[in-house]
Structure formats: C-alpha cells, structure tokens
Amino acid sequence: MAVPHGYRGLMVASGAELGLRERKMGLRERKKAATRQALHESALRLAMEHGPDRVTVEAIADAAGVSRRTFSNYFANKDEALLHGEHQRMRALLDIVRSRPAHETPWQALTAAAEEFYLHVGDLDPEWVAGNRMVRSQPSLIATQLRTFATWERELAAAVTARSADDDPLRVRARLTAATFLMAMRVSLDLWLDRPADVTLAELVRAALAEAGRGFA
C-alpha cells in the first residue's frame, strides 16, 4: 500500500525541490535515496497503522522489500527511519537559508526562508497532522527529534556565521540566533497542533518569529 501524500508531507520539501535534488544526483545516489525513502515511508505507514511501539525494524525492512542488514545501512534504528522526514524538512529549510541574498541580515534571511518554506508546503494534510501528533505522544521519538534539532541548530548557526563572522568572532550570537529561530518554529507547531482550526501554521510561525526576533532584527 502506498503511503498517502500526507505522510510524505512530514518531509515538507516540495515535489519540485525533491525532483531537482534527484536530477543533481547520479544513478547510484538516486537508488540509495529511493531505498531510504521507501524505508521511511514504510516506517510511517506501519506506525500509523499499528502504533510506533509495535513496529519493529524487521517489519519495516520487510515492508520496504529489503533485508535487515540493508535497513542498518541507512538508519541506526526505527526512530531514525520514522523521523527521516524531519531531516528532509530541515535540509530543505537550510538550503533556502543558504540561498537567501547576501545583503540580508541573519535574522532577515531566516525569517524570509521560513516564509518561502511554508509557501512551498501549502495546505497541510490531515495525515501530516496525525503524524506530528504521533511524534508528540512518543517519548523516544521526542528524544530523537531533539537530537536532530541540535544537529540542525549547529548547521543553521554555521549559515548565520557566514553572514556575520566579523561581528561575532566567538559565534555566540550565531548559536543564539539559530536556537531562537528553531525554538520559534517548534513552539509554533506545538501551538498549531493544539488549535489548528483557529489560525494557519504559517501565521503562527510568522507571529512567533516576529516576537522572538526583536533582539536579532
């Protein structure tokens, strides 16, 4: 059974963006990306059908049509497979940040990237919402997600440093900027999941970034 589009929405990167990345890959890289994506989608489908606690690595590998050993070549555990969409989402966001015009300040680049990011996302499917609620209900997934965010915080800080290295030799401001930005994104999602009918996620992100960025504008 194919994973509905909404599950793929956990990746957030648009089809056009993913297609562009695939065209830049060689055949070997495309095959590896396809296998990784198949494992991710199988993990999501099984978790949504049976609950994350009842899903095993063996079941994910079987559903994707690969061996247990092949699974281990791509992911360390099932939580990583489930949260591969987080990696895709943050990679897409980081790519946008890096592509922003050089004259923008770090915070301007981050907030503009967030606007562009959610423009690509478009309407959020109900399955996407269900997937994020699933993550919030699982302590192990939350822990893995937080580790992922720590990694991306460093990557974003590096992108910020590239715009402000002369003014921030110790990179303190860069790390604070990246951490504040990601926290605003996370808080926005949490608030939206609690009250999705009242406001759009993009509107909450915009408001959160405006509030959080008062010291970085």
Number of residues that make up the chain: 217
Q: pLDDT value at position 14?
A: 41
pLDDT at position 193 over 60: yes
**15 — pLDDT class (breaks 50, 70, 90):** very low
Q: pLDDT value at position 3?
A: 37
Domains of the chain with bracketed CATH: 5-82 (1.10.357.10), 86-215 (1.10.357.10)
pLDDT at position 199 over 90: no
CA-nearest of 99, 96, 102, 101 to 116 is 96
CA-nearest of 91, 121, 83, 87 to 5 is 121
Burial of 116 (0-12, 13-18, 19+ CB in 10 A): middle
* 16 or 128, greater pLDDT: 128
The dihedral of CA 25, 43, 143, 107: what is its sign? positive
Q: Are 97 and 67 in contact (CB under 8 A)?
A: no
Residue 120 is given by DSSP the state: H
Q: pLDDT value at position 165?
A: 66
* 71 or 168, greater pLDDT: 71
- Count of C-beta atoms within a 10 Å radius of residue 10: 25
* Alpha carbon distance 10, 41 (integer Å): 10
First to last CA, the chain: 47
pTM for this entry: 0.80
* Alpha carbon distance 45, 207 (integer Å): 33
Q: What is the mean pLDDT of the chain?
A: 84
